[in-house]
Amino acid sequence: MPDFQSKDPTQAGFWNERFESQFTPWDKGGVPQALQQFVAKARRPLVTLIPGCGLGYEAAFLAQSGWEVTAIDFSPAAVASAQAVIGEWDRHVIEADFFQYQPTLPLELIYERAFLCALPHVMRAQIVQRWASLLPEDGLLLGFFYVDDAPERSLKGPPFSISSRELYELISPYFELQEDAEVTDSLPVFVGKERWQVWRRLASVVTTLDIDE
């Protein structure tokens, strides 16, 4: 691994350095099978957001499939590389910070791959709350989650792994798990520890504090 200056994955500079050096071991170079199958079976195109999209293959694939998709990344180097890679679909990739971005259309789906695991554990609750706030009831959160249940698992990252129990406890207050499957086309960095999951947004719980009296 090259000797990078930036050690903090919460900063765009960390990712810029890696994209500029083409050190991207998480990059699949294409669209994972489970997403392709999901799109093939979907009854209609869904308005989709891809946070932390990297090189954005999925954005091109969804746009080509007739889906309304926006892929965002806060690293200018990632966005420039994505736009070069996906050519005619480049308008679907924009530079934006996931925690600030305001969608221009109401979202129906958020696609996850290697974004949750790219950021340290302390950011997880914030990420899940943002997913939940961006999606309406019945909206879908789906994609690939880096899960490791080994007792001796490393807490270092990225990628930062999460146990299946922690992942469930983190997401289930806002979403219902609808599908959880093994992934057969993982990259070496994720192999045996990647799950394809589909979560459906639950209705927001209204507490008495939310009611204007």
- Residues making contact with ligand SAM (CB under 6 A): 15, 26-27, 51-54, 72-75, 78, 97-99, 113-115, 118-119
Between residues 73 and 148, which has the closer beta carbon with respect to ligand SAM?
Answer: 73
Q: Shortest approach of ligand SAM to residue 151 CB, angstroms?
A: 25
Q: Shortest approach of ligand SAM to residue 4 CB, angstroms?
A: 14
Distances in whole angstroms, Cα of residue 176 to Cα of each of 16, 132, 180, 184, 205: 35, 12, 11, 24, 14
* Residue 159 backbone dihedrals phi, psi, to 5 degrees: -80, 140
Cis amide bond preceding 25, omega within 30: no
Between residues 85 and 170, which has the closer beta carbon with respect to ligand SAM?
Answer: 85
CB-based contact 140:201 (threshold 8 Å): yes
Q: Shortest approach of ligand SAM to residue 167 CB, angstroms?
A: 17
Q: Shortest approach of ligand SAM to residue 125 CB, angstroms?
A: 14
Between residues 43 and 193, which has the closer beta carbon with respect to ligand SAM?
Answer: 193
The packing angle between helices 76-86 and 57-64, to 10°, is 40
Distance CA 134, CA 155 (A): 29
Between residues 55 and 167, which has the closer beta carbon with respect to ligand SAM?
Answer: 55
